Amino acid sequence: MKKLSLIILGLSLLLAACKEEGKAPVSVAPAFPVAPYAAFSEGLISDITPEGWVREILQRQKDGLTGHPEAMSYPFD
């Protein structure tokens, strides 16, 4: 009897979890024109120059242990 009530309880919880709460709202086209996705063109990596704190962090990585694994300890020693 206890096993049957647990099965019924489990099935009712499963059905409650699977209940459809309504459909997702349909997206509506915007009132103004949207810019195309091809607004950016491909370029060379050298076209990008970091400035400010990003430049400082990248310089620290370059000068630090990032490019010198032989200076680290185990397993590189």
pLDDT tens-digit readout, 19-66:
666 666 667 666 766 666 656 677 788 888 999 999 999 988 888 777
- Nearest 5°: the CA angle 68, 49, 55 is 50
Residue 30 one-letter amino acid:
P
pLDDT of residue 47: 86
